[in-house]
């Protein structure tokens, strides 16, 4: 794996963008990760490779050293050759991290086979567990067992109109997810229609990073990113992260 994400103090912000302009706005607002995604094509919508290359080229030639991730799009894990072809194609666009959705299915075997292939593919991979139907504990344990062969692990939601991550998963399950994967040496990220008001609950779970799109757009997540909204998230973090000030909110126990 050529790119390595190391653990740092505090919560890092991942902001999803769909254009060169949005990428720079996210950077200006204080994002730690620039996440390339087409929100108009679903929760993990993939951008065309030409767009990925253009954003990477602009950020790097403009002097930004921020980590850049990109999703491969919503591909079924049952077609593993197609998933791996797209992973290699996205990585070849110059991004540091490739994100791959891991939806819950009746049979966890395709997800486990995909995780094995992803861990061995030579790129920095972040599998993104889709939380809408809850998580398959055996598949999460399988990801944990892969340890640092994965660059990190995220949980996110598919249906952005059904509420936030905290509506999709009980707080106790989220705590278990973060604890299990961090104990396995992995960096853990949370996302799922998270808003400013969710930051205390996010911080109480102590993940390594949190991902945002809905919260940084004026309308819904398919609309335009607003730098002021990224900045507001960034500015909220230090005060919330100060020990004793972070309100622990058990949204669902």
Ligand X SMILES: O=C[C@H](O)COP(=O)(O)O
Q: Is 16 in the site for ligand X (CB under 6 A)?
A: yes
Q: Is 191 in the site for ligand X (CB under 6 A)?
A: yes
Q: Rank residues 73 and 192 by Cβ distance to ligand X and give the closer one.
A: 192
Helix ranges (H only) for the chain are 20-29, 49-61, 80-91, 109-119, 137-145, 165-168, 171-183, 199-205, 227-241
Closest CA relative to residue 68, chosen from 26, 11, 103, 7: 26
Q: Is 35 in the site for ligand X (CB under 6 A)?
A: yes
Q: How far is the CB of 145 from ligand X (least distance, A)?
A: 24
Q: Is 123 in the site for ligand X (CB under 6 A)?
A: no
Q: Is 213 in the site for ligand X (CB under 6 A)?
A: yes
- In the set 99, 213, 221, 229, the catalytic residue is 99
Q: Is 193 in the site for ligand X (CB under 6 A)?
A: yes
Q: Is 212 in the site for ligand X (CB under 6 A)?
A: yes
Q: Is 150 in the site for ligand X (CB under 6 A)?
A: no
Q: Among all residues, whose Cβ is closest to ligand X?
A: 211
Instruction: Please give the C-alpha separations between residue 197 and each of 31, 118, 140, in angstroms, as whole numbers.
Output: 18, 34, 27
Chosen residue from 18, 214, 229, 233 binding ligand X by CB under 6 A: 214
Q: Coil, strand or helix: which one is 231? A: helix
Q: How far is the CB of 75 from ligand X (least distance, A)?
A: 16
Q: Is 153 in the site for ligand X (CB under 6 A)?
A: no
Q: Is 68 in the site for ligand X (CB under 6 A)?
A: no
- Residues comprising the chain, all counted: 253
Q: Is 229 in the site for ligand X (CB under 6 A)?
A: no
Q: Helices 137-145 and 171-183 meet at what angle, rounded to 10? A: 20
User: Which listed range, 172-180, 196-204, 213-221, 229-237, lies at the site for ligand X (CB under 6 A)?
Assistant: 213-221
Residue count, binding to ligand X (CB under 6 A): 16
**φ/ψ bin of 88: left (φ > 0), alpha (ψ from -120 to 50), beta (otherwise):** alpha
- DSSP class of residue 217 equals B
Residues in 92-111 at the binding interface with ligand X, rule: CB under 6 A: none
20 phi and psi, to 5 degrees?
Answer: -60, -45
d(Cα 166, Cα 182) in Å, to the nearest integer? 19
CB-CB contact of 31 with 230 (8 Å): yes
CB-CB contact of 130 with 71 (8 Å): no
Q: Is 129 in the site for ligand X (CB under 6 A)?
A: no
Per the annotation, the verdict on 37 as an active-site residue is yes
Q: Rank residues 3 and 116 by Cβ distance to ligand X and give the closer one.
A: 3
Task: Give catalytic residue positions.
Answer: 37, 99
Q: Which residues bind ligand X (CB under 6 A)?
A: 14, 16, 35, 37, 156, 160, 191-194, 211-215, 221
């Amino acid at each position: 794996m050529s790119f390595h994400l190391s653990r740092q103090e505090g919560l890092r912000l991942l902001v999803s963008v769909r254009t060169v302009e949005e990428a720079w706005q996210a950077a200006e607002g204080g994002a730690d990760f620039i996440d390339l995604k087409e929100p108009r094509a679903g929760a993990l919508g993939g951008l065309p490779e030409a767009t990925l290359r253009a954003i990477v080229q602009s950020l790097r030639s403009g002097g930004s050293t921020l980590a850049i991730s990109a999703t491969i799009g919503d591909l079924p894990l049952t077609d593993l050759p197609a998933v791996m072809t797209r992973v290699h194609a996205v990585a070849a666009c110059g991004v540091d991290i490739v994100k791959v959705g891991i939806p819950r299915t009746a049979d966890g075997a395709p997800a486990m086979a995909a995780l094995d292939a992803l861990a061995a593919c030579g790129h920095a991979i972040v599998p993104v567990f889709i939380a809408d139907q809850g998580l398959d504990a055996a598949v999460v344990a399988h990801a944990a067992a892969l340890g640092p062969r994965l660059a990190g692990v995220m949980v996110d939601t598919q249906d952005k109109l059904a509420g936030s991550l905290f509506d999709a998963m009980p707080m106790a399950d989220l705590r278990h997810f973060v604890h299990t994967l961090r104990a396995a040496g992995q960096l853990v990220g949370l996302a799922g229609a998270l808003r400013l008001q969710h930051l205390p609950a996010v911080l109480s779970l102590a993940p390594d990073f949190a991902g945002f799109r809905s919260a940084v757009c004026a309308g819904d997540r398919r609309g335009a990113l607003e730098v002021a909204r990224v900045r507001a998230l960034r500015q909220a973090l230090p005060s919330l992260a100060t020990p004793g000030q972070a309100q622990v909110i058990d949204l669902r126990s």
